[in-house]
């Protein structure tokens, strides 16, 4: 009996410790964003909201935010358009080298960002040399690269949704007079909606927060928010960065809570 109780305490303790470890930086960033003094030091001299104003008036941050948003939205949409058919093919058809293709599509998720960035950088230069089309540092090049990190999320979450999918409802639709396209649009897609929504959310967040790969690919005057923050940190360490980070955390958290109301994320991830 005592051993069981001890085990439970130990387990709860370990879980609490891990949670604390994850939350600690968030708590400090949040706290720091409200410090009054410019050089972070403890204890704080007082509290203020000035750094939020500073972040909101920082042109590189605003431009970066807009660019990151654009890139994340477009690459998420392209990632879905490519990842959903790929998942369908992988789950539904015996394609040659199926497991290999599946691993390949998930690879960008486990590949170190620096490696991915270097590889994409070299590739884009080669493409530019070969075709004379300005790919390097272009918006298109950045979006293409970000699509690469969105695809694994789509493939992973959509194949999971499709694996538990009862094919007979598609047959029922066809039996009732629906052609293949109508069946896909009216029956298949709505049935895997939780997976799609989760894929879109995680793909978006991954793209929005991507730093390592983007570092190689941004061009002059075209900087994403994480890079803008990094560049700011090279010169200053005032809490503006903490305020900008907190705004991001709040936005992403809100997106997750809203999404969770419609599809239970814990069920698909």
Partner 1 sequence: MARLSISHLKKTYGDLSVVDDVDIAVEDGEFLVLLGPSGCGKTTTLRMIAGFVPPSGGRITIGESDVTHLPPWKRHCGLVFQSYALFPHMTVAQNVAFGLEMHKVPAAERGPRVAEAMRLVQLGGFDERYPRQLSGGQQQRVALARALAMQPQVLLLDEPLSNLDAKLRLEVRVEIRELQRNLGLTTIMVTHDQEEALTMADRLVVMEKGKVRQIGTQRELYEKPADRFVAGFIGRSAFLDGQVTAPGRFRTAGGREIACADAKTAGPGTLALRPERIAVGGEAQGLPNRFETQVVHASYLGAQLDVQVALDEQERMLLQIPNRPGLTEPRPGDTMTIGWAADAGLVYPLGA
| Residue from 145, 150, 173, 241 binding partner 1 (CB under 8 A) | 173
234 binds partner 1 (CB under 8 A): no
Instruction: Single out the residue of 30, 118, 138, 191 in contact with partner 1 (rule: CB under 8 A).
Output: 191
Our finding on whether 2 is near partner 1 (CB under 8 A) is no
- Listing DSSP states for 70-129 in one string gives HHHHHHHHHHHHHHHHHHHHHHHS--TTHHHHHHHHHHHHHS-HHHHHHHHHHHHHHHHH
CA-to-CA distance for 214 and 206, rounded, in angstroms?
12
Q: For partner 1, what does the binding mask look like between residues 192 and 221, x meaning CB under 8 A?
A: -x----------------------------
Q: How far is the CB of 40 from partner 1 (least distance, A)?
A: 50
Alpha helix segments (H runs only) across the chain: 2-33, 50-56, 59-92, 98-110, 113-131, 139-163, 168-175, 180-183, 189-191, 193-209, 212-217, 225-235, 240-262, 265-268
| Rounded CA separation 143/205 (Å) | 14
Q: Is 254 in the site for partner 1 (CB under 8 A)?
A: no
Distance CA 117, CA 174 (A): 45
158-to-50, 58, 123, 168, 183 alpha-carbon distances in Å: 44, 39, 29, 18, 17
Q: Does 168 bind partner 1 (CB under 8 A)?
A: yes
Contact between 182 and partner 1 by CB under 8 A: the answer reads yes
Residues binding partner 1: number (CB under 8 A): 18
Per CB under 8 A, the list member of 7, 20, 100, 179 interacting with partner 1 is 179
- Residues 11-70 within binding reach of partner 1 (CB under 8 A): none
Please give the torsion angle defined by the CA atoms of residues 207, 104, 159 and 93, in that order, rounded to the nearest 10 degrees: 140
The reply on whether position 174 binds partner 1 by CB under 8 A is: yes
**Residue 172 touches partner 1, criterion: CB under 8 A:** yes
Separation between Cα atoms, residue 231 and residue 116, nearest integer Å: 21
CA gap 27, 42 in Å, rounded: 15
Cβ pair 108, 149 in contact under 8 A = yes
Q: Which of 66, 176, 233, 254 binds partner 1 (CB under 8 A)?
A: 176
Q: Which residues pair with 124 in a beta bridge?
A: none
Select 15 or 176, whichever has its Cβ closest to partner 1. Answer: 176
User: According to the binding rule CB under 8 A, does residue 263 interact with partner 1?
Assistant: no
Residue number with CB closer to partner 1 (31 or 165): 165
Is residue 178 involved in binding partner 1 (CB under 8 A)?
yes
Tell me, residue by residue from 70 to 109, as one string, x for binding to partner 1 by CB under 8 A and - for no binding: ----------------------------------------
Minimum CB distance to partner 1, residue 169 (Å): 5
Which positions lie near partner 1, rule CB under 8 A? 166, 168-169, 171-179, 182, 186-187, 190-191, 193
């Amino acid at each position: 009996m005592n051993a069981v109780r001890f085990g439970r305490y130990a387990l709860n303790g370990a879980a609490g410790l891990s949670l604390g470890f994850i939350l600690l930086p968030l708590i400090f960033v949040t706290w720091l964003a409200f410090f009054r003094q410019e050089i972070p030091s403890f204890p704080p001299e007082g509290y203020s909201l000035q750094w939020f104003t500073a972040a909101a008036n920082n042109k590189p941050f605003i431009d970066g935010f807009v660019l990151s948003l654009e890139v994340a939205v477009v690459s998420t949409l392209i990632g879905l358009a490519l990842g959903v058919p790929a998942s369908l093919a992988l789950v539904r058809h015996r394609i040659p080298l199926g497991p290999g293709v599946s691993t390949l599509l998930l690879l960008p998720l486990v590949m170190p960002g620096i490696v991915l960035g270097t590889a994409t950088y070299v590739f884009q230069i080669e493409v530019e040399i070969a075709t004379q089309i300005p790919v390097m540092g272009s918006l298109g090049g950045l979006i293409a690269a970000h699509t690469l990190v969105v695809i694994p999320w789509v493939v992973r979450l959509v194949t999971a949704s499709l694996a538990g999918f009862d094919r007979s409802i598609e047959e029922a639709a066809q039996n009732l007079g629906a052609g293949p396209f109508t069946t896909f649009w009216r029956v298949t897609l709505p049935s895997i909606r939780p997976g799609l929504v989760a894929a879109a959310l995680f793909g978006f967040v991954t793209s929005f927060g991507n730093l390592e790969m983007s570092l190689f690919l941004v061009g002059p005057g075209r900087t994403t928010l994480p890079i803008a923050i990094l560049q700011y940190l090279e010169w200053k360490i005032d809490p503006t960065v903490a305020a900008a980070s907190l705004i991001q955390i709040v936005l992403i958290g809100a997106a997750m809570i809203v999404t969770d109301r419609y599809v239970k994320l814990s069920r698909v991830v």
